[in-house]
Amino acid sequence: MEHLWAPWRIEYIRLAKSGEEKGCILCDKPNELNDEENLILARGSHNFVIMNRYPYSAGHLMVAPRRHTALLESLEPEELLEHFQMVQKCISVIRSLWNPGGFNMGMNMGRIAGAGIDQHIHTHIVPRWAGDTNFMPVIASTGVVSSSLKETYLELKPHF
């Protein structure tokens, strides 16, 4: 049997098991003003770009409004425009750096729809490459991430 070494996932497993996570990380992390530690790549007037700490694939980013809301339809036009301009920027940066074969992009709105953070909407941008995870997500419900979060952050940050 082959083993994948992903020690950073234990934090997620322990939090999920204990139920200890309190508050909203998409509100709390930007307020800490420690962007590198919190994996925040860019800040706009109404939104910010943050790396997913438990990514499905290397370069898995999220764009979230600064304002806490679970409803896409509650965003004001300027918040919505900036949100999708930031999504566009994320795709452009990742495409220019790593040339993925495609992207998965979307929002899971509500716990029933699969949202891990269901009270604060956010858009996932997940670059994909042919054979990037092979059969792992389907057979073993396991993602394979090919680079460390810090290494990925340092490579992306200058482009934002």
* Six-digit token string for 20: 């200890």
> CB–CB of 65/121 below 8 Å?
yes
pTM: 0.80
Which one-letter DSSP state was computed for residue 68? -
Count CA within 13 A, CB hemisphere, residue 72.
11
Of the candidates 88, 99, 100, the one whose C-alpha atom is nearest the C-alpha of residue 44 is 88
Of the candidates 47, 50, 30, 62, the one whose C-alpha atom is nearest the C-alpha of residue 157 is 50
Domains of the chain: 24-159 (3.30.428.10)
For residue 60, count CB atoms less than 10 angstroms from its CB and return exposed for 0-12, middle for 13-18, buried for 19 or more.
buried
Please tell me which residue in 83, 122, 124, 159 is annotated as part of the active site: 122
Non-local (6+) Cβ contacts of 139 within 8 A are none
pLDDT reported for residue 5:
55
Which one-letter DSSP state was computed for residue 49? E
- Model pLDDT for residues 119-143, shown as the tens digit of each residue: 999 999 999 998 776 544 544 455 5
- Model pLDDT for residues 53-91, shown as the tens digit of each residue: 988 889 999 999 999 999 999 999 999 999 999 999 999
Q: Is residue 122 flagged as an active site residue?
A: yes
